[in-house]
Amino acid sequence: MPSIHTATPGKNGSRSDTKEKLIEAGIRLFSEHGFEATTTRMLADAIDVNNAAVYFHFGTKENLYFEVLNTVAERIRSTFQPLQDAICASRSKGPLSPQEAWSFIERYVDLYIGIIKDPANKTVLYLLLHEQINPVKDHRPITAVACKEGEQILLLLLYEYWQLTDHRSAAIVSRLLTSSLIALSEHPSFAQLALGMDPDAVLPEEVWETIRSYSLDSLKAFRPGTGT
């Protein structure tokens, strides 16, 4: 599964190179410490530049923080793009059949689980958490992509899989499944505690296989409007 990779800065020591490096440092430091506790000195020291470089390229720490969030949001969007493109290509030939919709639902669940289980995405998930619990000027682009745009994909697929006449049941189930996966990624300690694991231990593959099976089996068994 794809990681939400960080960019590779240039090699010429250019201004754009410094700006990119500050953004990458911001992704790491803001995810670790949050907005308030991360100082411009910490950001500058992380890439061995003068503190003035932050103000030169971004004007304020807040502007750098917003650029960090926007950058990560776009990387998440690009991770979902191949799935969206495949769905659009199939829809261009006509409405999705329940079988086609189910195939894409499986891809959605696999993609989401692949993202949250990849250690390389830990900083991204922590930024999402900071954005939700302590937003700066209510700027939440990562939430908009991960919790709204991504969720909208599943909502429409469930709507077509269940052959619904309205979106309400699909919207509820889509919100429940997506938010549960995100919560697990942000708070793995709950799963570790339930399994009697060390807080620093990596969740075993069995956990992800169980989550996948339960998610898909629940979606397949549920029949909107019937109470089952």
Say how many CA atoms lie within 13 Å of 140 toward its Cβ: 16
Q: pLDDT: is 190 or 54 the higher one?
A: 54
pLDDT recorded at residue 51:
92
Structural tokens at position 202: 């990596």
Per-residue burial over 143-161, b = 16 or more CB atoms within 10 Å of its CB, e = otherwise: bbbbbeebbebbbbbbbbb
**Which residue in 204, 1, 193 sits closest to 116, CA to CA?**
1
81-113 confidence digits (pLDDT tens) = 999 999 999 999 999 999 999 999 999 999 999
Q: How far apart are CA 217 and CA 62, in angstroms?
A: 44
Q: How far apart are CA 136 and CA 62, in angstroms?
A: 8
Q: If 0-12 CB within 10 Å is exposed, 13-18 middle and 19+ buried, where does residue 130 land?
A: buried
139-189 confidence digits (pLDDT tens) = 999 999 988 888 899 999 999 999 988 888 999 999 999 888 888 887 888
Q: How far apart are CA 176 and CA 187, in angstroms?
A: 16
Q: How far apart are CA 37 and CA 58, in angstroms?
A: 18
Answer whether 0.75 is exceeded by the pTM: yes
